[in-house]
Structures are given as structure tokens and as C-alpha cells.
Amino acid sequence: MLNNVSETSPPRSRARLSPDERRRQLVGIGLRRLVERPIQDLPIDEVAAEAGISRGLLFHYFPTKNDFYAAVVAAAGRRVLRTIAPDDGVRGAAGVRQLLERYVAQIDRRRDSYLALVHGRGPVRGDDDLALGLRMALARRIADLLDLPDDRSPVLHGWVAYVEDRALQWSARGPDERESSAEVVLHCERALDALLALS
């Protein structure tokens, strides 16, 4: 009798979410899947199926595939910034060191995802904008941590690009072929001191 009841039970209805909640849900699914593949390889049908909606309904919330991809990429950039932020109240050189340690660790841990996200090729042409946006946000954060004036922004932006490249090159080497992450961080701190002294 119980089997008959379960067989004839109506299918579970999908959750009714507000438009903002549904957009957040869809972007969250996209973010989880970025760990597995680059944004340009993310099938819209799979995202919609996981959310329990049709492909057509997804396009009600994001008019085009590129709009959805751009929302996921922007959210991923915000996530990187949150992940590497220093602890509350940590400022000055200690704050810069903490941010550096977390940034290098993030790139090492998620190298492929980071490359696909920031330097990827594909239908989302905002990738270059994301790289520049991340660097500018990090430059502003460093300026704030060190109480530096706005005219240092170009130097800090260049330094962040250098740190990113240094961390990507370092993470590409095998564990036996590279120095410690602490050495990479120290090197980048010294590079920042030298650049600020020159400027």
C-alpha cells in the first residue's frame, strides 16, 4: 500500500523563490561549477536542471548566456577578494602580509580555476575587465592598509600584477622545485617596499 502511495504521489514542486533569490541561486550554482571547468564550458542546461527550472526560465533572469556568465564571473571576483582579505583590525605591513599570504595560497590552491576565470578565453569577453578590476580592488585595499595617497595607485596596480604573475609561476612548479610560500611572500613584500621607495 505504501508503495502505491509513493508511486502515485505528485512530483515534488520546485521552490518558489523571489527573483533576487533565484538569481543568487543560479549564480551560486555557476560558482560551484567553476571549480570543475572554465566559465565558457559551463552548460546552461545543467545549471537550470540543478536549480529545478527550465532553460527558458533561466533566461528570464539573465537575458543571454553571456549575461549569466558575466554575473558568475563578477561574483567569483568578489569571492576572491573576500577570501584573501586580512582579518578585521589588521592593518599596515601585517595586513599586507596577511593579504599576500592568502592571495598566494588562493592562486596555488585554485590555479586552474583562477587562470580560467581571470585569463580565460571564451564567450565572456569581460575576462580582461575582471583581471583589471581585481588588480584595482587589490591596489585600493593595499593603499588603505598602508594609508597611502591615491597617487600611488598606478604603482600598487603594477605591483599586484607582478604578485599575481609571480604566484602563478611559482604554483606551476612541482613541490620539490619551488621555494616556500613564505619566501614568495617575503620577496613580494620587498618588491613593494622597493617600488614605493622609487616612486
> May I ask the CATH class of domain 19-198?
mainly alpha
Q: What are the pLDDT digits (tens) for 29-82? A: 998 887 777 777 889 999 999 999 999 999 999 999 999 998 998 888 889 999
What is the residue whose three cell numbers read 613580494?
188
Q: How far apart are CA 130 and CA 118, in angstroms?
A: 6
Q: Where are the domains of the chain?
A: 19-198
Instruction: Look up residue 133 and give its three cell numbers.
Output: 578590476
| Helix/strand/coil percent split, the chain, to 5 | 75, 0, 25
Q: How far apart are CA 54 and CA 14, in angstroms?
A: 11
- pLDDT reported for residue 125: 44
Q: What are the pLDDT digits (tens) for 110-166? A: 888 788 777 754 444 444 567 778 889 999 999 999 999 989 999 999 999 999 999
Q: What is the pTM of this model?
A: 0.78
